[in-house]
Amino acid sequence: MSSVVLGYVPNALGDAAAEAAVHEARQRGATLVVVNTTRADRLVDPTYADDDDMSRLQGTLRTSGVDFTVHHGTSKDTAAEDVLDAAERHAAELIVIGLRHRTPVGKLIMGSTAQSILLGAACNVLAVKA
């Protein structure tokens, strides 16, 4: 069965991406694979969804009726690597992520998860703009 991978972040952008991913998955009759991981290498990681965020997301996904699995937790790889990894494992036909503006300096120092996914993916990537 085909699958769609969603790189989720707990904010408005992530919710917009989730909505688009649900839409795509339904159209394709695909399983939705939700990925949200952290390396736990910092005290505050705003892109990591806590349990409340996750159960909220799962609630909306359940009501949407698509088939889904969740990949959530601490990982030693970066978020981008985890998303690409999940896409490969599930032989995804599409990756859905949110895309936001980054300052050049921020990108230089912290790197860009979106950019790594866009360049590293073997399938199409849908970049959702909030």
Partner 1 sequence: MALLEGFSVAMQPMYLLYALGGVLVGTAVGVLPGIGPAMTVALLMPITYSLDPTAAIIVFAGIYYGGMYGGSTTSILLNTPGESASIVTALEGNKMAKAGRGAAALATAAIGSFIAGTVATVLLSFVAPYVAEFAVQIGPTEYVALMIVAFLTVGALLGASVLRGLASLALGLFIALIGVDALTAQQRYTFGNPFLADGIDVVLVAVALFAVGEALYVASRLRHGPVKVIPVAGRWTNWMRKEDWKRSWKPWLRGTFIGFPVGTIPAGGADVATFLSYASERKLAKGERKKQFGKGAIEGVAGPESANNAAAAGVLVPLLTLGIPTTATAAMMLVAFQRYNIQPGPLLFEVEGALVWALIASLYVGNLMLLVLNLPLVGIWVKILQIPRPYLYSGILVFAAMGAFSVNFTPVDVFVLLVIGVLGFFMRRYGYPIAPMVVGLILGPIFEDQLRRSLAISQGDPTALVSTPIAATIYVVLIVIFVLSFWLRKRQRAMESEVVEETPAAAVDLKEGGK
Where along the sequence are the contacts to partner 1 (CB under 8 A)? 38-46, 48, 50, 74
Distance in Å, CB of 128 to partner 1, minimum: 23
Closer CB to partner 1, 52 or 63, in the complex: 52
d(CA 124, CA 61): 22
Residue 34 Cβ vs partner 1, minimum distance, rounded to whole Å: 18
Rank residues 42 and 101 by Cβ distance to partner 1 and give the closer one. Answer: 42
At closest approach, how far in Å is the CB of 18 from partner 1? 20
* Choice between 50 and 115, CB closer to partner 1: 50
Closest to partner 1 by CB, 41 or 101: 41
Separation CA 100–CA 130 (nearest Å): 8
User: Cα dihedral sign for 103, 116, 118, 62?
Assistant: negative
Maximal CA-CA distance, the chain: 41
Residue 129 near residue 19 (C-beta atoms within 8 A): no
Please say whether the beta carbons of 72 and 60 come within 8 A. no
Q: In the bound complex, what is the minimum distance in angstroms from residue 124's beta carbon to partner 1?
A: 30
